[in-house]
Amino acid sequence: MTQTPDDTADLNAPTPEQVGAMWDRSGDLLSMALGDSAVHIGMFVPLDANPPVTTLLGLADLAQDRQTEFLIDNIALTPNDHLLDIGCGTGGPAIRLARRTGARVTGINVSKSQLARCDERLADSGLADRVEFTYGNVMELDHPDASYDAAWSIDCFPHLCDRPAGLRETLRVLRPGGRFLLTEFALRGTPDHSALDSFARLWTSPPPTPFPTLLGQIQEAGFRIARVQNMTPNIAVLGEMLHVLFRDRRDEIEQRHGSEAVAYADPLVEHFRTFSREHLDYYLLLLVKPEG
């Protein structure tokens, strides 16, 4: 059965608690294929002719860091700025940003085990005077209006059951003129219902929407779109990399995480590989809260 891209209302959208529980369970597993520095898609393209690594895992880790550095360049903060990191993962990008720019950072997350890793990393970083991590759901923030100069959200919005609420809340806590750097998936083509459903279940997300739906929601929330960059080739490379890395490390994963983890990872990796190649676009958007 095929469906139109917007005909997705019957597919489940997970609660923030379900998303947090998934990251509590599977975060360590994913780091076996992505490295420990970050948990995002990564910037594989364009790659140096001679990357300073000799293994696929090294390449995946390098791609994570390259993406973080690229996003830090693009958010352009000063030491006087305070940034909200929405869906901060294990804290690597927030700490790297604080170290490079001198800015203050507050990271929020719905995964308690990832927040524990954030705090370990923070203790080692010596940046506890400028960086903090706390439990928080972007669709219902308890932060005051206009309390941040900037925000970024790297690969968190694909999980949200109510993206417009996440956009409205982010706009509310930014000061006028504040910048928001967002990465998001967009659906390409018209996959059949079961492919969309599998993707949503395996990724613990609602089904991705077509790009025009995302743009409409951003504008409706009240943001001005300052820049859009298509980063889709990276997602296709990641799909292939995960496939190879999980296959090569299958026994090690089973020893460390048990057979249930392998049973969870096998279909996830396989489905992500084909779905990302055929149906998933990946965008970086720089959004601005209008002045006055």
For binding to ligand SAM (CB under 6 A), which residues are involved? 16, 19-20, 23, 38-40, 86-89, 92-93, 108-111, 114, 136-139, 154-156, 159-160
Return the number of the residue (149 or 184) whose C-beta is nearest ligand SAM: 184
Q: How far is the CB of 77 from ligand SAM (least distance, A)?
A: 16
Q: How far is the CB of 231 from ligand SAM (least distance, A)?
A: 13
Q: Measuring CA to CA, which residue among 244, 232, 292 is closest to residue 269?
A: 244
Return the number of the residue (69 or 254) whose C-beta is nearest ligand SAM: 69
Residue 9: CB partners within 8 Å, gap ≥ 6?
none
Q: Are strands 224-230 and 280-288 parallel, antiparallel or unpaired?
A: antiparallel
Q: CA-based diameter of the chain, in Å? A: 58
* Residue in this structure with the two tokens 């599977």, named with its chain if needed: 26
Q: Measuring CA to CA, which residue among 285, 286, 283 is closest to residue 41?
A: 283
Return the number of the residue (160 or 181) whose C-beta is nearest ligand SAM: 160
Q: How far is the CB of 279 from ligand SAM (least distance, A)?
A: 18
Q: Which two tokens stand for residue 197?
A: 């459903």
Q: How far is the CB of 264 from ligand SAM (least distance, A)?
A: 16
Determine whether 1 is exposed, middle or buried from the number of CB atoms within 10 Å of its CB (0-12, 13-18, 19+): exposed
Return the number of the residue (3 or 164) whose C-beta is nearest ligand SAM: 164
Return the number of the residue (5 or 87) whose C-beta is nearest ligand SAM: 87
Q: Return the sign of the alpha-carbon dihedral for residues 16, 283, 12, 35.
A: negative
Q: How far is the CB of 85 from ligand SAM (least distance, A)?
A: 7
Residue 10: CB partners within 8 Å, gap ≥ 6?
none
